Structure 1
């Protein structure tokens, strides 16, 4: 069986690398004959630092499906169409919005250095921070709408894009149209009904809907689409992973 894990808030907390307990649980899962896959909102660049080196070549989906990597190589990247990029830039300019914009590797960032997103941004210093106009093949956009949330959301909803709003961080996460975690998993050969998914946020719904079992970590609305739920506590997560690993041997 394939086991698919979101990172932040699911098995990775406060932007810190995976704990020893979680790493051991994932290794035990693999030793039981299962495959471990990571599926994160982070681009591959920012996904790698929270993983131990031995897991950085595992199959992974980044950028909510915009990136697909395997064996340490990014095999596919989904970018916004040119006209969508132009429309997003117009919205940024009209509302004077801070942003994080990712290309295939480099990024443009104008948000606050105090925001949690900044703390997780390229911690290994393996990319370049550049001006927005110097980015090519844009694959993911995060906007900080501030008091303009409703107006910004209205404008974005007129575009052919995939939107996720994270109210607790007051950000809007934007991906190319039709790109989500399930879309990314299909590019890794994952088959509907033949995997277990762990997640904790709205961007996990697409992979929950296609999973044999889906586990919501913590008390989140995405639990409405999950078959199972556990507290956001390491011991509970590890116990559930061990249970499912044994159940689907």
Structure 2
């Protein structure tokens, strides 16, 4: 009889601040509280929840970190939408800590980037194509600057994802996309033709988007991703090695 009772773990009671954070999050996620709506002052929240100021402040800290709440210029609290960059950088850190390999990163990129290229060809408008052309012009002038060119490559793929007008795809590819920079920089530094091939592939992709040709866009993205893998191997790296923690310095460094 005693043995049967010992199979159960002790129940953990959530902290008061977590209960407050969960209650506010439910209001936002349900749509009853929309982005831009006032969450209230700290004093008002203390009164509503029947808790002290430190509990409310800790709950707000959690919600601010998740991007669900922001402080306005008037110091009041407002519901907000999480930023893609904030969500993605946290997932990118997790990928590094889990020691994902380049092979895993490449296989995922192959699926998501080709899908993005196809959808971008179907949905890109003049404004986003202009941004891609501006990126291309900068890349062509940065062939001798591996760090600059690699940042521009990251930006190019972000713009391409934005051109899909598919926010699910845009957000899904971003965490892995943030890990492209350090590997691309490595390739551009060590493989003589790496920079030229990267810029040439981007040119073909832009032309495919201009023509609205999803087949050509997918074809050139497939070649671009294949080049990325070949370049990594030619740079003397093992496909099955982890995307090293040392790369995190570049991943989390703000772009130019």
TM-score, length-normalised on structure 1? 0.26
Give the structure with the larger helix fraction: 2
Query: Which is higher, the Rg of structure 1 or of structure 2?
Result: 2
Give the structure with the larger strand fraction: 1
